[in-house]
Chains A and B, each alone.
Chain A
C-alpha cells in the first residue's frame, strides 16, 4: 500500500513521517512514534482513554484518521510535564487521589487541559461536562473533578 506523507507538530516538535493512509491517529502516535501514554480502551470513541489535543480540541484519537494530522498542532500526555497547566493538572491528580489504575488518567488530563485552555474559569459543572466523554471504572469521578477544579484554581492564582 502506498504511504502518505504527513507533516505536523506534536508536543512542540516538528515531524515529517510516512503513514498508512488507513491508519488512525492513535496508531501513528502509539506505534509509529512510540508514544504509549495515549491508551486504547474501546476503539469506538466511547471511553476517552485515547484523548489527545488536535488544534486545541480534545479528540478521541481512535476515531480520527491519520490524514487529519496533516499540518496540525497536536499535544499528547507526554508533553504535559513540560507545560504549566499540564504540570498543574498532573500534580493535582496526584494530590487529590484522582488516580487508581491509571489507564483512563492520560485521557482525563488531556480533556481537562483542552477545557481549561479554552475556559480557565470553568465552573464545577462545566468541568464535569468537559470530561463527560471520559470513562473511569475505578474512582467514581469525584476526585477527578476535584483535581481539575484544584488545578484551575492554581492556574488562576499564578
Chain B
C-alpha cells in the first residue's frame, strides 16, 4: 500500500513549545483569584474514621474553606470498573495515602500551614500489610471482597499434570517483583475553574483519562456531564499513572470550586505524589515448567498473587493480562495460570506501562533459563525451538493465522545485534573461573503484547473522533486520546492526513477537550494506534461521503468512484484539488464534518474456562541485555540493550525509536534499582523522593542501546500499526535479570526485584564468596 504521510518521521507537533519552556503544564497555570489547595493525609493505614476536625484550620489567615468526605454531595466513591475508592475518606481510611480533608487558601503557604492543624479521630484496625496476611485475616478492607480477594483470572489449556508426566525435566521456582513508582517527572497538578454562568466546571491539568474523570466528577458532585469540561494541559509523563489519582484530586478541587466560586489549583509535592499515587503491582509467582529432553516445552503452571493495595483500581484487568500474556509467546499445549489480586492496606496499584506483564516475564524468562540450562541448551536455542510461528496456537488458545507472527525473527535480530550466541558461550566459560571477580552475562527475553484491553472488555472497547473540514480546506481533528509525551497526537495527525488523503500541513489536532471531542475511552493499554486509527478511518470515510455528495450535486449523480489521495480528488476524468472540492461542498450548503467510531471486534474468549482469544491482535518483542557484575561490590553495569519490536507499521519511526529507548531505560530501573521500599507492618513507604527511589540516570543507561524495528502491517489495524508504548518496556527487566543471573553462574539465582547492590552482593557471596576462591 502506497502511503503519503504515515511511515514518515515528521517532527513531533509539540516539540517547539516544550524546548522553549512555553508548553503549559498543570502547575504553570496562573489565574486571577486562584485558590491553592493542600491535602491532609490519614495518620493510619487502616482505621475507622470517626471525625475530622477542621475548625482550627478554617480560622487560619487566608483560609477560604476546608472540605472533608462529608461535603461530597453525590456518590462518595469512584472507580472505573469497581467503585470502591474514596476521593475524600468518609468513614474509613484504607491506606496512608487516603486524604481526609483539603484546605483551600489564598496562597500555598497559607494552605500548607492550615493543613497541619486538621486533626481526626480514628479507631485503628489491624494493618493488612501483605497479600498473604490479608487473605488470612478476618478483617475485610472492603466488605464486598471475601478473603480480601478482589480478582482472580484463569488461563487454561490442555492438561498440565499430563504435560508434566510427559516431561523429562521440570523446574519449580518462586519470584517476586517490587513496588514500582511511575515517576513521571511532573507531579500531579489539577486546576478547576467554575463557570460564573451555571454550575459548570472546567478542569485543566495533568490527566491521562479525562472521560473517566468526567464520569467520576458527575457522580460525586452531581453536575451534569455536559457541564464538566476537561482540557488536559501538557502532561509531564504518565505511563499509566495519571488516572485515578488525578481523578480524585479533580473531585476535591471541583468541590472547592463549586463551594467558593473561585478557581482552585491543587498540586502535589513529590512526596505527596509518591505517598498517594498508585503503583505498579508487586507480584509473587510460583512457577512450574516442564519440557522433554529435546527441549520441547510441554507444560506450564503459574500461580501469581498481586498486591492490589487499598482499592481495586485496575487489579482485576491487570490480573487478566498477567494470566493471558504471562506465559509469553511460546508454543505450549498444556498451561494453567491463575492470577489472583488481593486488597491490602498498602498503596493501591493500577495501570503502569506493561500492566502486570513485565513482572510475569521476569519470573517466566528466569525460570525458562533454568530449564534450558538443565537441558544443556542456551536461552536462544531453547527459544528457537519453542517460539510461536504463523498459524500456531497461542498459550491461551488463539490461532495466530491473521498476521505475521514475527517473534522468532525478532529474536534472531536482537541476538545478532548483541552477538548473543558467541558471548553466551564465551562468558559461560569465563565465569567458571572463581578468580574472575567481574563477570559478564547476557540475557534475552520475548513477549507478545495483546493490543488494547482485550476480551476482558469484550464489546466495550470503542473509540471516537470528530473531524471537521473548514471552508479553507484545513482539517480539524478532535480526539480525546491524550498526549502524554509519547507522540500520540503527531501519529494521529499523520493518520488523519493519510485517511483524508490530504497534505499533513492541512491537519490540526485540536487540544483535547471533552466538550469538543466525543468520548473515546482512555489513552491506555497500547490502544491509541489501533483505536484512534480505526475511528479516524471511519470519520474520513464519512467526511468523504459528504464531499462526494457535494460533487454529485455539481457534476451529476453518476460521477463514479471518487479517490482522495495526496491532496487531490480524482473521479471520472476530473483531477481536482482538495481545496476546490471543499469549496464545492460548502457551496452546496453541506457540512463536511463527521464523528468516526471504531469498536474492537468481539473475540471468542471463555472467561470461565480461561481459553480462547484473549485479544484481537498482538505486538511482538524481543529485548536483550549484556551486563557486567562486580562480585565483590554487588554492582551491575548494563553494557548494552537491544529492543527489537514488530509494531505492525511504524506510523512515525523516529517516535517509535523514542519509545524503545525510553522503554529500555524504564526496564533497567525496574530490574536494578527501583523500589518504594514498603513497610508491611505500617503500610508506609520508605522512599518518597528521588533521593531514595533510584531512577536510572544518563550515566546508568548504556549509550549503546539499539532499537530495531521490524514492520509487518497488521491487517487488523486501520493503518497497519499497533502501539509500542508497553511492548517497549515489557521484556527488558527479564532480559537484564537473566543476564545478571547468567553472570553469577546460576540461572534464576536472585528471586526478588530489584537486583540492587544488597541482593546481588548477597547472591555473589553465597555463590562465589572469598572463602571459595582459590588463590593461585
| CB of B19 closer than 8 Å to a CB of A | yes
Contacts of B24 in A (CB 8 A): 36
B662 touches A76 (CB 8 A): no
8 A Cβ contacts from A111-158 to B: 124, 128-129, 131-132, 134-145
Which of A49, A91, A105, A124 touches B18 (beta carbons < 8 Å)?
Answer: A105
The answer to whether B561 has its CB under 8 Å from any CB of chain A is no
A46 and B691 in contact, given A103-B236, A138-B485, A145-B703 (Cβ under 8 angstroms): yes
Question: Given A37-B20, A140-B664, do A103 and B699 touch, yes or no (CB 8 Å)?
Answer: no
A102, B26: Cα distance in complex, Å: 13
Closest to A110 in B: B21
**Residues of A contacting B21 in the complex (Cβ-Cβ under 8 angstroms):** 35-38, 76-78, 80, 106
A55 within 8 A of B: no
Q: Which residues of B contact A42 (CB under 8 A)?
A: 270, 689-690
Cβ-neighbour of A39 out of B14, B22, B236, B662 (below 8 A): B236
When the two chains form the complex, which single residue of B11, B487, B699, B701 contacts A140, counting CB atoms closer than 8 Å?
Answer: B701
A89 to B657, CA, bound (A): 21
The yes or no answer to A12 lying at the interface (CB within 8 A) is no
A99 in contact (CB, < 8 A): yes
Give min CB distance, A37 to chain B, whole Å.
2
Contact of B185 among A37, A44, A49, A129 (CB under 8 A): A49
- Interface flags for B661-686 (1: CB within 8 Å of A; 0: not) read 11111100000000000000000000
**How many chain B residues have a CB neighbour from A under 8 Å?**
56
Query: What is the minimal beta-carbon distance from A99 to any residue of chain B, in angstroms?
Result: 5
State the Cβ distance, B754 to closest chain A Cβ, in Å: 16
In whole Å, how far is B677's beta carbon from the nearest beta carbon of chain A? Answer: 16
**Bound CA span A34–B30, Å:** 8
Tell yes or no: B401 within 8 A of A by CB: no
> Which among B235, B236, B269, B701 has the greatest number of chain A C-beta atoms within 10 A?
B236
Partner of B186 from A34, A41, A132, A145 at Cβ < 8 Å: A41
Flag if A46 contacts B18 (CB, 8 Å). Answer: no
Residue contact B695 to A100, C-beta cutoff 8 Å: no
Given contacts A94-B11, A100-B485, contact A36 B28 (CB under 8 A): yes
Complexed CA–CA distance, A141 and B663 (Å): 11
A44/B661 contact (C-beta < 8 A), A141-B698, A142-B703 known = no
CA distance A47 to B185 in the complex (A): 8
The answer on a CB contact under 8 Å between B185 and A135 is yes
**Contact in complex: A137, B705 (CB < 8 Å):** no
A1 to chain B minimum Cβ distance, whole angstroms, is 10
CB distance from A7 to the nearest CB of B (A): 24
The residue from A77, A134, A143 contacting B661, defined by CB atoms under 8 A apart: A143
Within 8 A of A (CB), among B693-750: 695, 697-699, 701, 703, 705
Q: A124 CA to B698 CA in the complex, in Å?
A: 12
Bound CA span A104–B236, Å:
8
Closest to B27 in A: A40
Known contacts A44-B689, A103-B25; is A143 also within 8 Å of B698 by CB?
no
B147 within 8 A of A: no
A16 contacts chain B at the CB level, 8 A cutoff: no
Which of B18, B236, B270, B660 lies at the interface centre, i.e. has the most chain A CB atoms within 10 A of its CB?
Answer: B18
Give A124 to B699 CA distance when docked, in angstroms.
11
B428 within 8 A of A: no
- Chain A residues whose CB sits within 8 angstroms of the CB of B185 once the complex forms: 39, 41, 47, 49, 101, 103-104, 135-138
The smallest beta-carbon distance between A40 and chain B, in angstroms, is 7
Q: Which of B183, B186, B234 has the most CB of A within 10 A?
A: B186
- Judge whether B15 is part of the interface by a CB distance below 8 angstroms: yes
- Asked whether B237 lies within 8 Å of A138 as measured between CB atoms, the reply is yes
Within 8 A of B (CB), among A61-110: 76-78, 80-81, 89-91, 93-95, 97, 99-106, 109
Cα of A67 to Cα of B654 in the assembled complex, Å: 44
Docked Cα-Cα span, A97 to B486, in Å, equals 11
Q: Please state if A140 and B187 are interface contacts (CB–CB under 8 Å).
A: no
Interface-central residue, A34, A102, A131, A141, by most chain B CB under 10 Å: A102
Contact of B690 among A47, A105, A144 (CB under 8 A): A47
Task: Give CA–CA (A41, B25) in the complex, Å.
Answer: 12
Q: Across the interface, which residues of A come within 8 angstroms of B487, CB to CB?
A: 100
Measured CA separation A135–B45 after assembly (Å): 31
Chain B hits for A93, CB < 8 A: 15, 19
Min CB distance, B352 to chain A, in Å?
A: 12
Contact of A94 with B701 in the complex, beta carbons under 8 Å: no
Q: Does B113 contact A (CB under 8 A)?
A: no
Residue in A closest to B728 when the chains form the complex, CB atoms: A140
In the complex, are the beta carbons of A46 and B690 less than 8 A apart? Answer: yes
Interface flag for A9 (CB, 8 Å) = no
Asked if residues A131 and B698 are in contact (CB atoms below 8 Å), the reply is: yes
Q: Select one of A97, A102, A106 contacting B658, CB under 8 A.
A: A97
State how many angstroms separate the Cβ of B693 from the closest Cβ of chain A.
Answer: 9
The A-contacting residues of B in range 421-456, CB under 8 angstroms, are: none
Hey, which chain B residues are within 8 Å of A39, CB to CB?
Answer: 25, 185-186, 236
Tell me, in angstroms, the Cα distance from A43 to B689 when the chains sit together. 9
Whether the Cβ atoms of A139 and B662 lie closer than 8 Å is: yes
* Cβ-defined contact, A103 with B186, below 8 A: yes
- 27 residue pairs from A and B, CB less than 8 Å apart: A36-B30, A39-B236, A41-B185, A44-B691, A76-B21, A78-B20, A80-B19, A99-B14, A99-B19, A100-B486, A101-B185, A102-B485, A103-B25, A103-B184, A103-B236, A103-B485, A105-B18, A132-B699, A135-B690, A135-B697, A136-B185, A136-B698, A137-B182, A137-B237, A137-B239, A137-B695, A142-B701
A-to-B contact residues, CB < 8 Å: 30, 34-44, 46-47, 49, 76-78, 80-81, 89-91, 93-95, 97, 99-106, 109, 124, 128-129, 131-132, 134-145
| Known A101-B186, A137-B184; 5 more pairs at CB < 8 Å | A42-B689, A97-B657, A101-B234, A101-B235, A141-B701
Q: A-B pairs with the 4 shortest C-beta distances?
A: A37-B21, A101-B485, A102-B18, A103-B236
